[in-house]
A and B are shown apart, each in its own frame.
Chain A
Amino acid sequence: MTTSTRWRPPKLIANPLHRHGLTLLVVAYLIWSLGTLDIDWNRTAQGMGRAGDILARMFPPDFTRWQLLVRGLAESVQMALAASFFGMILAIPLGLCAAGNLAPKPVYLAARGIISLTRTFHEVVIAIFFVKIFGFGPLAGVLTLIVASVSFIAKMLAEDIENMSMSQVEAVRATGASFPKLLIYAIAPQILPRYLGVSIYRLDANVRHSTVVGIVGAGGIGQTLAASFSRYDYDFSLAILLTIIALVFAGEFFSTWVRGQLR
Chain B
Amino acid sequence: MTVDEHARRHPEVWRRFSPRQTLVRYAWYLGIVFVAVWSVSNLDIPWFYFLDAHTQAGDLITRMIPPDWAYFDEILDPLLETIHIATLGTAITFFLAFPVAILAARNISPNAMTWFVARFILVASRSVNTVVWALLFVAIFGPGPVAGIWAVAARSIGFVGKLTAEAIEEIDEGTVEAIEATGASRLQVLMIGVIPQVLPVIYGTMIYRWDINIRESTVLGFVGAGGIGIQLYASINQFAWREVAVILLAVFGVVIVSEFVSAIIRQRIN
Contact = CB atoms under 8 A, between A and B. Distances in A.
A132 B123 CA distance: 33
Given A39-B145, A117-B252, A122-B218, A211 B132 contact: yes
B35 interface: yes
Nearest to A141: B43
Contacts of B87: 29, 33
Contacts of B131: 124, 212, 215
Contact of A248 (B42, B60, B88, B126): B126
A85 interface: yes
A129 B39 contact: no
A38 B49 contact: no
Contacts of B144: 38-40, 43-44
Given A128-B236, A132-B60, A139 B43 contact: yes
Which bracket fits the contact residues of A?
35 or more
Interface of A: 29, 33-34, 36-40, 43-44, 46-47, 50-51, 54, 74-75, 77-79, 81-82, 85-86, 116-117, 120-122, 124-125, 128-129, 132-135, 137-139, 142, 208-209, 211-212, 215-216, 219, 222, 225-226, 229, 232, 234, 241, 244-245, 247-249, 252
B46 interface: yes
Contact of A142 (B45, B219, B256): B45
A139 B46 contact: yes
Given A50-B139, A85-B35, A215-B132, A124 B219 contact: yes
Contacts of B53: 133-134
B216 interface: yes
B129 A209 contact: yes
A68 B236 CA distance: 30
A120 B256 contact: yes
A54 B140 contact: yes
Contacts of A37: 81, 84, 145-146, 226
A106 to B, nearest CB: 21
A211 B135 CA distance: 13
B123 A81 contact: no
Contacts of A121: 215, 248, 251-252
Interface string B103-137: 00000000000000000000110111101100110
Interface string B136-167: 10011110111000000000000000000000
A244 B142 contact: no
A245 B43 contact: no
B181 interface: no
Interface of B: 32, 35-36, 38-40, 42-46, 49, 53, 56-57, 60, 77, 80-81, 84, 87-88, 123-124, 126-129, 131-132, 135-136, 139-142, 144-146, 215-216, 218-219, 222-223, 226, 232-233, 236, 248, 251-252, 255-256
B127 A122 contact: no
Contacts of A38: 81, 144-145, 226
A155 B179 CA distance: 44
A47 B128 contact: no
A215 B252 contact: no
B252 A120 contact: yes
Given A125-B232, A135-B49, A215 B223 contact: yes
A142 B132 contact: no
A177 B270 CA distance: 42
Which label, helix, strand, loop or mixed, suits the secondary structure of the A interface? helix
A46 B216 CA distance: 26
B265 to A, nearest CB: 13
A81 B35 contact: yes
B36 A81 contact: yes
A121 B254 CA distance: 11
Given A33-B84, A133-B56, A249-B123, A122 B216 contact: yes
A203 to B, nearest CB: 11
A139 B45 contact: yes
A44 B142 contact: yes
30 contacts: A33-B88, A37-B226, A39-B145, A39-B146, A40-B142, A40-B144, A44-B142, A44-B146, A47-B140, A50-B139, A74-B42, A81-B36, A82-B43, A85-B39, A120-B255, A122-B215, A124-B131, A125-B251, A133-B56, A137-B44, A137-B46, A138-B45, A208-B127, A211-B129, A215-B131, A215-B223, A226-B135, A245-B127, A248-B123, A248-B127
Shortest 10 CB-CB contacts between residues of A and residues of B = A248-B127, A78-B39, A85-B36, A212-B129, A82-B39, A43-B142, A124-B219, A33-B84, A47-B141, A81-B39
